[in-house]
Amino acid sequence: MSKIKLQGRTRAQESSNAIERMYITMRHLFNRGFYKPMGVSGETLREALLILRPEIYGSVAEEKVELNGLLYVIDRLPIGLEECRFINLTSDEGYGNSHFKPIVPPKRRRNCYRIDDEQMNIEITRGRSEIYDILTHLTFLFIESHKIMRRVLIDEEGGVSRDWEKLERAVLSEEPLSQAEREVALTHTANILGRTFREVTTIYPMFSIKENNERFIHIVYWLGKLAMDEMLNNNKRIVTFSPVLRERLGHHIHGEIWANKIKEVLLEKDLLHRPLHIISANMHSVMNTLYAPEALKTELKKKSISSIYEDLSNSANGKLRMKVMKLAGEEGMTFINDTSGTNIDVQIFDTAKLESLNSQFKLNENLKDEEKPVLMVMDYAFGEQAYETMDEMLKPYETEDGNILMNVASISIMGKAGILVGGKGDIMIPSAHLFEGTADNYPFTNELTKADLEGHGINVCDGSMITVLGTSLQNKDILKFFHESTWNVVGLEMEGVHYQKAIQAAAKLRGSISDEVKVRYAYYASDNPLETGSTLASGGLGTTGVKPTYLITEKILEQIFKS
């Protein structure tokens, strides 16, 4: 074995061990009930993250502050968290009925509450994966805050650099900053961060929100200020886990409420006995594929259907969306807004009521109404939450008259994933899911094949997919190992193993659904973590994801309507 190959393997092994240590440590800290991220109790997490050096966190192990990683993390944490010394992870404990106004991060649907100047509560309703996600982001954030602190403290008595004094003056100013004042402040901020003026001015507007255009410099200031308070006064930031959260975790409380509500609606509408096709996807592609060609006939005279789909993906086109939703509501679509805390909305489509159907989907004319399929589209789950929700959904519905088995005909999973053999917008068709950090593997017969999706101008690959414990912990070495080994891994995502575990348990062991249930998995690439500049931190898909999303949706629906 060559020296280079050995080094690569050693680095992959180090990375794998670091991930394992992080998860063992996070579970221990959760059981303990609290920890100080920048104290002794948080040391193992910090060391493991710095050994791992995940692609998404860029230059976390260097002296300069990581800007793209900071933006990625800030978008997934509540506004104002950087000002808080106490971060409390709670279950759904009734804050929604209080005077506290929920704060929902832009890129993560979770309710957070600012209790006072020092405390932020983050509501956990999606299981362990959500806790891992938050703790990893907080570890990164606080490491970066100490970089800022080290660059501005000039002596042990608390003396600070001139750059910090100028930044503080700009942040605490009650008057809006002029363009000149802003550029002066950003000049000093660039020095503090170890970045160029161009880098800082480029990323500055990406942090801005309607309430605060200067949010970028405010975040830098408060991260540095709290880090200095830790260093000079030993006022450590503390993460706590509420007793109710620790007691409830793993009990499927939210998933059970969620699934029972859906079954209740199916029963009310006399759909519970009909063939049910569950689709895990977004809340627009199935509805638009079924109804847009009819609802937007006028618009289709001027544009292609693919251009219409792009327009519908833009939230600014509210009128177009309303036209589609209106027709959908008239022809068999029922929307179930989530109130369980899972943050997973659901759409039910009764195909017996479809009259203005997209002409490419044809139901068997010999089917009676009670034999026609019912589509249940569920929004994306998050990590281990996929097991909780699918496991509960596939259980028999308990009624006063006895248990009703779910007539599940197929389960289709469409999602975003990181790709290892292509670029953004490509499609991956898995033949098995592997669970990172374990020897668990779940081979299955995928009703979708590579051939089904080829010939449409999109690169398609097939092979194994690895279900990772968190996308924010992946680095090139470990991913390269998986791709080049005999596992033949083509991509990584967070839910596949959890879905398949629930499906196999229900079909093969419990017998609560038919063991002939059909499964379909297809993913479109949101990033390539093996390529620098193509990770999730480099930005979203934009319209690149529209074409693969609708292609996969069409193929899933074609198979359902033919069955």
**For residue 97, is pLDDT > 70?**
yes
Least confident of 73-77, 184-188, 325-329, 535-539: 535-539
- At 356 the pLDDT is 61
Residues 6+ apart with CB under 8 A from 491: 417, 418, 419, 420, 421, 428, 430, 465, 466, 523, 525
CA distance 70 to 219: 10
Over residues 362-374, the mean pLDDT reads 84
Over residues 513-527, the mean pLDDT reads 95
pLDDT band at 540 (very low <50, low <70, confident <90, very high): low
3-state secondary structure of 241: strand
- At 438 the pLDDT is 80
Continuous segment of H or E residues that includes residue 519: strand 518-527
**For residue 3, is pLDDT > 80?**
no
**For residue 217, is pLDDT > 50?**
yes
Residues 6+ apart with CB under 8 A from 533: none
**For residue 456, is pLDDT > 80?**
yes
**For residue 535, is pLDDT > 80?**
no
pLDDT band at 386 (very low <50, low <70, confident <90, very high): very high
CB burial readout 304-328, b (16+ within 10 A) else e: ebeebbbbbbeeeeeebbebbbebb
Residues 6+ apart with CB under 8 A from 263: 272, 397, 404, 406
- At 541 the pLDDT is 54
45-88: pLDDT as tens digits: 999 999 988 888 988 889 999 999 999 999 999 999 999 999 99
- At 264 the pLDDT is 96
- At 487 the pLDDT is 84
Over residues 372-392, the mean pLDDT reads 95
**For residue 238, is pLDDT > 90?**
yes
**For residue 539, is pLDDT > 60?**
no
Continuous segment of H or E residues that includes residue 323: helix 318-330
CA distance 93 to 526: 34
> Which of the pair, 343 or 359, is modelled with greater confidence?
343
CA distance 514 to 507: 6
Can you tell me which residue has the tokens 């899933």? 556
- At 524 the pLDDT is 95
3-state secondary structure of 476: helix
> pTM score, two decimals?
0.87
Continuous segment of H or E residues that includes residue 560: helix 546-562
Over residues 389-412, the mean pLDDT reads 94
- At 534 the pLDDT is 55
- At 533 the pLDDT is 56
CA distance 224 to 150: 9
Q: How far is CA 15 from CA 54, 63, 135, in A?
A: 9, 21, 18
**For residue 27, is pLDDT > 50?**
yes
Strands 374-378 and 333-336: unpaired
Least confident of 144-148, 351-355, 550-554: 351-355
Strands 238-241 and 34-35: antiparallel
159-216: pLDDT as tens digits: 999 999 999 999 999 899 999 999 999 999 999 999 999 999 999 999 999 889 999 9
- At 4 the pLDDT is 47
Mean pLDDT estimate for the chain:
91
**For residue 6, is pLDDT > 50?**
no
